[in-house]
Copies of this chain bind each other. A is one copy, B any other.
Amino acid sequence: MTATEPVARRGRPGYDRDSMLEVVVEAFNERGYDATSLGVLAARLGLSKSAIYHHFDSKEQMLEVVLGKALDALDDVFDAPEATSGPVRDRIRYVVRGAVLVLAERKPYVTLLLRLRGNTAVERAAVERRRAIDAKMRTLFELARDEGTLRGDIDPRVAERLTFGMVNSTVEWYRPEGRTTPDELADAVLAYVDAGLIAR
């Protein structure tokens, strides 16, 4: 199976895998993962259950792939050279902008990730990956504190939580097709995050 393999059944237009995932993540967000049966997914996709099993081993594997769309993109941001070397202030700016852009570009996937409560093995693994990303952000603020580029009256842990709190809350209201572009949203978030950082 390739990522672009077309799927066409019952006269529906063909799906590529990414289009299928969009339908799946929308269903999970609307109904919750637990409450979304394979029958519901089949009806929304206009596919038979066996056609779905041609693409995915199980509903849980669909969840894993869907969550990977958010987590892989966030890992790419936090593992990039711009996030792991150079002045700490620039690294923080890079990961904050990157996280905002991932959220804007993959909003349904990040929304699902943020709402997870971790009841299955796949969910627990995703929560762990999310925590590892939080820890990378916290480490950057700790580095900033150690080199004196974080305001002395702000705890790195609080800085990390407030920054991700601000970034993550945008899934509740931000519409990428609205009047604020993803880059403008990132600029606004950075205006606030910068307040905790001191230029060197």
A interface residues, Cβ below 8 angstroms from B: 151, 153-155, 158-159, 161-162, 164-166, 168-170, 172-174, 180, 184-185, 187-189, 191-196
User: Which residue of chain B has the shortest Cβ distance to A190 in the bound complex?
Assistant: B195
Query: How many copies of the polypeptide does the oligomer hold?
Result: 2
* Majority-rule SS of A interface residues: helix
State whether A162 touches B158 (Cβ < 8 A).
no
Q: A166-B166, A191-B151, A191-B196 are in contact. Are A158 and B185 (CB under 8 A)?
A: yes
- A158 to B164 Cα, complex, angstroms: 16
- A151 to B161 Cα, complex, angstroms: 24
For the complex with contacts A158-B180, A161-B169, 20 further pairs of A-B residues with Cβ separation under 8 Å are: A151-B191, A153-B187, A153-B188, A159-B188, A161-B170, A161-B174, A162-B170, A162-B188, A165-B165, A165-B168, A165-B169, A165-B170, A165-B172, A166-B192, A168-B169, A169-B169, A188-B196, A191-B196, A192-B192, A192-B195
